[in-house]
Amino acid sequence: MFPFVYDFRWEATSLIFLGVFFAVITTLMMMVATVTVRSVKDLRTRKIGTLRWHETFEDLPAGARSCRFAMSGFAPGRSCDNFFECGTCAVYPRFRSLEERHRPEDHESRSGHGGFGIDEKRYYHRGHTWLQEEEDGTCVIGLDDFAARLLGPNPTYQLPPAGSTLKQHQPAFTIQTGESSVRVVSPIDGEVLEAGDSTRGWLLRIRPSTQLPHARHLFRAGEARRWFQAELERLNRLVEIPGVGATLADGGTPVDSFRETRPDANWDGILGVMMLDV
Amino acid sequence: MKSIEISPSQYVMVIDADRCTGCGACMVACAIENNVAPAHPDATDRTGVTWMKVVKVSSGNNGDGKPACYLPLPCQQCAAETPCVTVCPQNAVEVDQQTGIVFQMSQRCLGCRYCMAACPYHARYFNWWDPEWPEGMEQTLNPDVAPRMRGVVEKCNFCHGRYQAARASAAEHGQASSDPVTYEPACAQACPTRAIKFGTPANNEQGVGDLVHSSSAFRLLPRLGTEPRVYYLSKHKWIRQMAQMEKETSTGEEVHG
Amino acid sequence: MDSKFITRGLERTSLRNFSVWVLFWVVVLGFGLYGAYLCLAEGLNQTNMDNRFVFGLWIFLDLAIIAFGAGAFFTGLLLYILKRSEFTAVINSAVVIGLICYSGAVAVLAIDVGQPLRAWFTFWHPNAHSMLTEVTFCISCYLVVLAVEYMPILLKNRKLKERPSLLVFQHNLHKVIPVLAAIGVFLSFFHQGSLGGLYGVLKGRPFAFREGFGIWPSTFFLFVLSAAAIGPSFILLTTSLVSKISRKKLVKPEVLQSLGRISGWLLLAYVLFKSVDTLVWINRTSPSLLFSPYEYYNQESFGTWILFAEIVVFGLVPALMLLTRKIREHRGWLITAGLLACAGIAVNRFVMTIQTLALPTLPFDPFLSYIPSWQEIATFIAVIAYGVLLYSFSFRYLTLFPQERDLNSLTR
């Protein structure tokens, strides 16, 4: 195998064969070395949070990753390919201008409430959190109605302390319900000012790094309503009995807790898939 | 078909098929010379180790006066495109350029048995069992030959131990190492009818150099292009034709020994 | 109880049921390992192989499962190099199947050789002219490649990916997967081919000997083509089997049909080349070595029916079936076609190993027969049990089928 072995053959076939073999082995070893070096670098520069979100995003089922413009009908069947970061998405401007031209009412505020408790003042995030601007420039974050009905009564919250940093799409806080726990991703970059609870109607008060109207990836008004409908359909598909079809309430006001309609379902799994924590 | 000229200083073996009586003395002598262990009680003719194997060939009804013949089959020491050498994955077989003997290095053999599949003469044998000699029989072991362990392939090497002894003795007498030495493998020595002759064409021991060119000389499966060093002699046409695969005449095989 | 280790959103059977399943296969594995142990401790006399039948059940089955395991490299080729993204649905399962097939084959080979501890001699003193050296090197490298490809699948386990170091390592490994896939294709081409070349170069066995291109006999290329053809079929068969046992939909039907169609085209090409090769062999190669081909087939156990079975019944027929849309769309017929194709490849491997050795070369040789001993069969059963266990654990705790969550409801 090596020239120092006593019966090494110095002939073309042998040299070509061993040459190719060593080339393959070297490539493999270099690959493993490169991966290790890159991993160490990524760990040191603390890119774990972003990587974790990217991996989680890729692990989401296809139904959870549909592009917002697929839901509005302008890009049917399209799957998000940018980790829900509409701010850096290449196709966002094109579709958004289409939407504004043909369906301006989706982005306008209206009075009143939708069937899911959609508040016209709030901005909604696909992780089922909402944000609301306060007069003093801070923001409050809460869980939307959909998540509340998924979690059922009396969940416990583990909220980050004041002074913590939140990064967009990285875990902000954890909720426990029954035997499941779910990590909720932060809807935006910011700094935690105060932790709340369900009695105050919000969970976190933060100072956001971006002004909310400039946060492209958040939903408002009509778009949020449409997204909620899509999420309800997605949930229906998760719990439908083959041959019977969807069994959750369709249309009208949903029940207080989804769990009580199908107590035998795998709610840990449903929670994970719906709350983007897989 | 034109055959390659075998170098005159390399060994050939000439076996006279007409003289072989099938007594099997060559098989016994070979086993004793080369430290082949007694067969395991469960061994059969297909699992035993017999570097030299005498095969009975029936002529069927094509007689011409001879109903059967016996062919001693050692390793044919193929001179060209040696099948076992080409296929061994770790070069555990090599052709000794000086003597022409195909050399099996059992201590490097992995036991993959690919060489056995490649050998068209079935001249290679695998150690399916650990070799075991009964109490006291170890005194009969030949100190010039290394015994082999279980799981490796072995075969006839023209009694290479005897060659090395002859070479050493010739060197003591001042003979040049490039001159071929004269020696006799155990099978040739034991044969009572002198059917097996061995030597180099250069030294022409027992006339082997002339016999290989005789009209009754033939080799097995010449069409394969292996150029074996073992020649057979027979005046009977059916035997010569059969060996060269011109006509299939056989029906059975029996082993003696 | 172990739900924290199971991917979120996937339904798996209870731990108790799983334990019963595992226990059963562990017992089978134990029995098989006992047979293998006997062969190692007592020697290869425990098998029914002999000096004429030097290759037996193990080599035949090894060649067959290596051909079946070709789905791993071929799916990798389709997905990472030809960018056919629909095959993300099956790539993980294909890698696991490949790992099982190759590691199982290597394990059996370690028992098949007389001196397994000397296996490194082939690396230290390689004979570049021998096909078996080529096989050894390539299969060893490829097993390493498969193990590395398995890492990202393993590291995506729900609990393991919590650890930042493992998550980051997995992420970076996945980024270089196309390079691994390319190396895998290169290695697979050569070892699948060399396995065919093993028999094609044997001039002393005119039944197997073939002319070819350069140093490579035609059997080299036929083996590569047949392995590529059977790979997708085996993936579709295993996916259907796992789907049936787990009572879940694992992939969208179009994926299986696509696999079937690709398999069908390659199988058709293979049947064509094989027919041409057989004609050349019958009319030119074999007679030049003075063996008339009809002699090979005048034994009752191996009449010309076996040639017909290999090329037509288990070759042309499944190829045409797989190319017919109506048959592909019917799950039962698709599976039947896949099974027929696999049988055809198995028959081909059988013919090249067992039939080659059974046939006489010397004019006074008889035709030989061989029946494997129970130890040989047990060893192979150990491989199957090992494969089932490895796959079962992978299926339960890892995500082998990304489309599964979209196709099944989460009701119990």
* B143-165: pLDDT as tens digits: 999 999 999 999 999 999 999 99
- Return the SS3 of C217: strand
In a domain, B1, yes or no: no
Q: Which residues in chain A have Cβ-Cβ distances shorter than 8 Å to C411?
A: 239-241, 262, 264-266
Q: Measured between alpha carbons, how far is C144 from C137 in angstroms, rounded to an integer?
A: 11
Q: Is A240 on the interface with C (CB under 8 A)?
A: yes
Q: Do C361 and B246 touch (CB under 8 A)?
A: no
Q: Which residues in chain A have Cβ-Cβ distances shorter than 8 Å to C125?
A: 1, 5, 7
Chain B: touching chains (3 or more CB pairs < 8 Å): C
In a domain, C90, yes or no: yes
In a domain, B115, yes or no: yes
Q: What pLDDT shows up at residue A244?
A: 58
Backbone Cα Rg of chain A: 25
User: Is C20's pLDDT higher than 50?
Assistant: yes
Q: What pLDDT shows up at residue B201?
A: 92
Query: Poorest-confidence range of A56-65, A159-168, A240-249, C62-71?
Result: A240-249
- Residue B107 carries which DSSP code? T
Count up the domains in chain C and report the number.
1
Chain C: touching chains (3 or more CB pairs < 8 Å): A, B
User: Domain limits at C23?
Assistant: 3-358+385-400
What is the mean predicted confidence (pLDDT) over C159-188? 94
In a domain, B68, yes or no: yes
Q: Which ipTM did the prediction report?
A: 0.91
User: Is B64's pLDDT higher than 70?
Assistant: no
Q: Measured between alpha carbons, how far is C280 from C217 in angstroms, rounded to an integer?
A: 12
Q: Do C167 and A52 touch (CB under 8 A)?
A: yes
- Return the SS3 of B175: coil
Query: A186, A183, A170, A164: which is closest to A48 by C-alpha?
Result: A170
- Return the SS3 of B213: coil
- The CATH number assigned to the domain holding B93 equals 3.30.70.20
User: Is C299's pLDDT higher than 70?
Assistant: no
Q: Is A42 on the interface with C (CB under 8 A)?
A: yes
Q: What pLDDT shows up at residue A256?
A: 66
Mutant choice from A238, A247, A248, A261 vs C, greatest count of C C-beta within 10 A: A238
Instruction: Read off the pLDDT of residues C360-405 as tens digits, 9 standing for 90 and up.
Output: 888 778 888 899 999 999 999 999 999 999 999 999 999 999 999 8
Q: What pLDDT shows up at residue B248?
A: 43
Q: Measured between alpha carbons, how far is C228 from C224 in angstroms, rounded to an integer?
A: 6
What whole-number percentage of chain C has pLDDT above 70?
Answer: 98
C412 min Cα distance to partner chain A (Å): 6
Contacts (Cβ under 8 Å, ≥6 apart) of A3: none
Q: What pLDDT shows up at residue B100?
A: 92
Q: Which residues in chain A have Cβ-Cβ distances shorter than 8 Å to C170?
A: 55
Q: Do C51 and B122 touch (CB under 8 A)?
A: yes
Contacts (Cβ under 8 Å, ≥6 apart) of A15: none
Name which of C11, C128, C161 is nearest A55 (Cβ-Cβ).
Answer: C161
B18 pLDDT tier (thresholds 50, 70, 90): very high
Q: Is C287 on the interface with B (CB under 8 A)?
A: no
Residue of A nearest to C412 (CA): A265
Token pair belonging to A135: 């007069």
Q: Is A233 on the interface with C (CB under 8 A)?
A: no
Half-sphere exposure of C108 (CA within 13 A, CB side): 31
Backbone angles phi and psi of C13, in degrees to 5: -65, 170
User: Domain limits at B189?
Assistant: 12-255
Q: What pLDDT shows up at residue A178?
A: 83
What is the mean predicted confidence (pLDDT) over C307-318? 93
H/E run at residue B55:
strand B53-58
In a domain, B70, yes or no: yes
Q: Which residue has the higher pLDDT, C286 or B55?
A: B55
C71 within 8 A of C256, measured Cβ to Cβ: no
Instruction: Read off the pLDDT of residues A197-227 as tens digits, 9 standing for 90 and up.
Output: 878 889 999 999 988 888 899 988 778 888 8
Indicate the average pLDDT of chain A.
86
What is the mean predicted confidence (pLDDT) over C246-273? 95
Instruction: Read off the pLDDT of residues B118-133 as tens digits, 9 standing for 90 and up.
Output: 999 999 999 999 999 9
C174: left (phi over 0), alpha (psi -120 to 50) or beta: alpha
A241 pLDDT tier (thresholds 50, 70, 90): low
C115 min Cα distance to partner chain B (Å): 5
Q: Is C364 on the interface with B (CB under 8 A)?
A: yes
User: Is C242's pLDDT higher than 90?
Assistant: yes
Q: What pLDDT shows up at residue B253?
A: 39
Q: Is A30 on the interface with C (CB under 8 A)?
A: no
What is the mean predicted confidence (pLDDT) over C170-176? 94
Q: Is B147 exposed, middle or buried (0-12, 13-18, 19+ CB in 10 A)?
A: middle
- The CATH number assigned to the domain holding C62 equals 1.20.1630.10
A278 pLDDT tier (thresholds 50, 70, 90): confident
Q: What pLDDT shows up at residue B249?
A: 40
Residue of A nearest to C134 (CA): A17
Query: C204, C278, C192, C200: which is closest to C229 by C-alpha?
Result: C192
Q: What pLDDT shows up at residue B112?
A: 95
- How many beta-carbon pairs below 8 A join chains B and C? 163
Q: Do B126 and C114 touch (CB under 8 A)?
A: yes
C36 within 8 A of C361, measured Cβ to Cβ: no
Q: Is C182 exposed, middle or buried (0-12, 13-18, 19+ CB in 10 A)?
A: middle
Listed in order, strand segments (DSSP E) in C201-248 are 212-213, 216-217
Q: Which residue has the higher pLDDT, A119 or B14?
A: B14
What whole-number percentage of chain C has pLDDT above 90?
Answer: 82
Q: Do C118 and B108 touch (CB under 8 A)?
A: yes
Q: Which residues in chain C have Cβ-Cβ distances shorter than 8 Å to A278?
A: 7-9
Token pair belonging to C335: 């599976």
What is the mean predicted confidence (pLDDT) over C326-352? 95
- Return the SS3 of B72: strand
Query: Poorest-confidence range of C150-154, C297-301, C387-391?
Result: C297-301
Count up the domains in chain B and report the number.
1
Mutant choice from C115, C209, C294 vs B, greatest count of B C-beta within 10 A: C115
Q: Is A25 on the interface with C (CB under 8 A)?
A: yes
Highest mean pLDDT among B218-227, C229-238, C294-303: C229-238
Strand pairing category for A180-185 and A171-177: antiparallel
Note the Cα A1 to chain centre separation in Å. 52
Q: Which residues in chain A have Cβ-Cβ distances shorter than 8 Å to C184?
A: none
Q: What pLDDT shows up at residue C83?
A: 94
Q: Do C125 and B91 touch (CB under 8 A)?
A: yes
Type of residue numbered C141: C
Residue of C nearest to A64 (CA): C406
Q: Which residues in chain C have Cβ-Cβ distances shorter than 8 Å to A48?
A: 164, 167-168
Q: Measured between alpha carbons, how far is B72 from B188 in angstroms, rounded to an integer?
A: 11
- What SS3 string covers chain A? CCCCCCCCCCCHHHHHHHHHHHHHHHHHHHHHHHHHHHHHHHHHCCCHHHHHHHHHHHHCCHHHHECHHHHCCCCCCCECCCCCCHHHCCCHHHHHHHHHHHCHHHHCCCCCCCCCCCCCCCEEECCCEEEEECCCCCEEEEECHHHHHHHCCCCEEECCCCCCEECCCCEEEEEEECCEEEEEECCCCEEEEEEEEHHHCEEEEEEECCCHHHCCCCEEHHHHHHHHHHHHHHHHHHHCECCCECCCCCCCCCCCCHHHHCCCECHHHHHHHHCCCC
User: Is B184's pLDDT higher than 70?
Assistant: yes
Q: Which residue has the higher pLDDT, A221 or A44?
A: A44
Q: Which residues in chain C have Cβ-Cβ distances shorter than 8 Å to A63?
A: 406
Name which of C171, C403, C410 is nearest A265 (Cβ-Cβ).
Answer: C410
C96: left (phi over 0), alpha (psi -120 to 50) or beta: alpha
What is the mean predicted confidence (pLDDT) over A243-250? 56
Query: Poorest-confidence range of A110-114, C132-136, C180-184?
Result: A110-114
Contacts (Cβ under 8 Å, ≥6 apart) of C334: C236, C256, C257, C260, C322, C327, C328
A140 within 8 A of A131, measured Cβ to Cβ: yes
What is the mean predicted confidence (pLDDT) over B33-41? 94
- Residue C362 carries which DSSP code? S
B244 min Cα distance to partner chain C (Å): 8
In a domain, C367, yes or no: no
Q: What pLDDT shows up at residue B252?
A: 38
Backbone Cα Rg of chain B: 18
Q: Which residue has the higher pLDDT, C189 or A198?
A: C189
Sign for the CA dihedral angle at A105, A111, A117, A123 comes to positive
Name which of B119, B242, B246 is nearest C204 (Cβ-Cβ).
Answer: B119
H/E run at residue B125:
strand B124-126
User: Is A251's pLDDT higher than 60?
Assistant: no
User: Is A100's pLDDT higher than 90?
Assistant: no
Q: Which residues in chain C have Cβ-Cβ distances shorter than 8 Å to A264?
A: 411-412
In a domain, B4, yes or no: no
Q: Measured between alpha carbons, how far is C70 from B233 in angstroms, rounded to an integer?
A: 52
B14 pLDDT tier (thresholds 50, 70, 90): very high
What is the distance between the terminal CA atoms of chain C, rounded to a whole angstrom?
16
Mutant choice from C168, C194, C201, C401 vs A, greatest count of A C-beta within 10 A: C168
Partners of A123 in the β-ladder? A131, A220
Query: Poorest-confidence range of A39-43, A66-70, B5-9?
Result: B5-9
Cα–Cα–Cα angle for A24, A30, A35, rounded to 5 degrees: 130
Q: Do C203 and B57 touch (CB under 8 A)?
A: no
In a domain, B5, yes or no: no
User: Is C312's pLDDT higher than 80?
Assistant: yes
